[in-house]
A = this chain, B = another copy of it.
């Protein structure tokens, strides 16, 4: 007869241990100040080069007969197809990345001297402006780990696939960029281990506090690391808020219910308003993004050279939370955003998430709400600012300035406009524990809060 041990439903201990790690400015491994140099050294150790190529030089990738979709001959990795989005007051077509498989973004955690440390990797991605950034322990598409590349195995992957003896701190499917991906989700995992973990030159153990300090640097912590850190079950102390949790969910349910969004995939060569030439696919008015191709050489990756398409935004983005304190409790202003590629209609995004270059010609009344509040924020109201880039495996130089800006009643009233809602960092973290609630840009800002890069 098996003896069954019941477990507490909520592991209260985890949140306290994560908070202790966030309070640890230094850890048992590399010093925070040495991380940028270490990343630069890893980059020098295996110099790699990314150059733009015409589509005709792509190896294994081609535009399919009939549809014009851009696909790999293996049928794997991802494809660039068309998307037709119809809303009550808008109707557009665009290229979209279709990558139906669910990948793993996993960070290994382990206690050293009683404090949780996280195993971070120096990883090259061709779309990163500086190529090598700090990434999760494992960042693997299913093609990666089932060896579609024919390349080397993914290090440490076994901790995330076979977890019988290990402790899971978080494991949730999170969406990625709904403007560029069709229904894309990845599995965001933090798994704690007790035993020895073999060391590797490309990996270092860091506390959450160290990661928070590094989040103040431009282009250092990659998107995949940020989204996993956002999914960590932290303790945010507030017990009171402008809305109860139930009222917050009710508001969000209403937002989902009121938006009609019909998105259908379509052949890439039938997408209206987009033009394909030898080097790129772009909108006739040059807005939003381009589809381009690159060749990568000398990379320290599963395979050392390859070619691939990337999406390249037409300019840098601005992504920010307006932030206010109500009754002593900090709140951020979330926006229920519809993005054509979301699996479920709308998710909570930051107050502002735009590429200003797309709106330069618009009169101020038609500019996106709150955008100028972020662009013109006085320095003493900026509680956080850093440039981060989006997933460098799919996006080329997709940099945004991420901000948390303290605002006031005149600019951002307590009674939020339709589509916006004031919520606490704890409420945002609670929702990020489930799928379909918090978009990837808001999760970068949540990672900033979770790691105590800023204490509101």
- Using a CB–CB cutoff of 8 Å, the interface residues on chain A facing chain B are 2, 4-11, 14, 100-102, 163, 168-173, 187, 189, 233, 238-247, 249-250, 253-254, 256-257, 260, 262, 326-327, 329, 343-344, 414-415, 424, 426-427, 433-436
Question: A2 to chain B: which residues have CB within 8 Å?
Answer: 414-415
Supposing A168-B250, A262-B100 touch, asked if A257 and B6 sit within 8 A by C-beta, the answer is no
Check B244–A171 contact: CB distance below 8 A. Answer: no
How close is A414's CB to chain B, nearest CB, in angstroms? 6
Q: Which of B233, B240, B241, B254 contacts A171 (CB 8 A)?
A: B254
Check A253–B172 contact: CB distance below 8 A. Answer: yes
Supposing A100-B262, A172-B253, A436-B435 touch, asked if A329 and B6 sit within 8 A by C-beta, the answer is yes
Question: A14 to chain B: which residues have CB within 8 Å?
Answer: 246
How close is A251's CB to chain B, nearest CB, in angstroms? 9
Supposing A2-B414, A414-B4 touch, asked if A9 and B172 sit within 8 A by C-beta, the answer is no
Question: A256 to chain B: which residues have CB within 8 Å?
Answer: 102, 173
Question: A11 to chain B: which residues have CB within 8 Å?
Answer: 244, 246
Given pairs A6-B327, A100-B260, 10 additional interface contacts (CB within 8 A): A2-B415, A9-B426, A9-B427, A100-B262, A169-B246, A171-B249, A171-B254, A233-B246, A249-B434, A343-B344
Check B100–A344 contact: CB distance below 8 A. Answer: no
The 8 closest A-B pairs by CB, nearest first: A171-B250, A6-B240, A6-B327, A102-B257, A168-B250, A7-B244, A171-B253, A9-B245
Question: A424 to chain B: which residues have CB within 8 Å?
Answer: 9
A414 to B5 alpha-carbon distance, docked (Å) = 11
How close is A83's CB to chain B, nearest CB, in angstroms? 14
Question: A242 to chain B: which residues have CB within 8 Å?
Answer: 4, 6-7
Give this chain's copy count: 2
Supposing A435-B344, A436-B436 touch, asked if A247 and B7 sit within 8 A by C-beta, the answer is yes
Question: A169 to chain B: which residues have CB within 8 Å?
Answer: 246
Check B253–A187 contact: CB distance below 8 A. Answer: yes
Q: Which of A163, A243, A244, A415 has the most CB of B within 10 A?
A: A244
How close is A238's CB to chain B, nearest CB, in angstroms? 7
Q: Which of B189, B239, B241, B257 contacts A187 (CB 8 A)?
A: B257
A329 to B6 alpha-carbon distance, docked (Å) = 9
A170 to B, closest residue via Cβ: B246
Supposing A169-B246, A257-B187 touch, asked if A239 and B414 sit within 8 A by C-beta, the answer is no
A4 to B413 alpha-carbon distance, docked (Å) = 12
How close is A216's CB to chain B, nearest CB, in angstroms? 29
A2 to B410 alpha-carbon distance, docked (Å) = 12
Question: A101 to chain B: which residues have CB within 8 Å?
Answer: 260
A9 to B430 alpha-carbon distance, docked (Å) = 11
Question: A250 to chain B: which residues have CB within 8 Å?
Answer: 163, 168, 171, 189
A259 to B, closest residue via Cβ: B102
Supposing A100-B262, A172-B253 touch, asked if A9 and B187 sit within 8 A by C-beta, the answer is no
A246 to B9 alpha-carbon distance, docked (Å) = 8
Question: A433 to chain B: which residues have CB within 8 Å?
Answer: 249
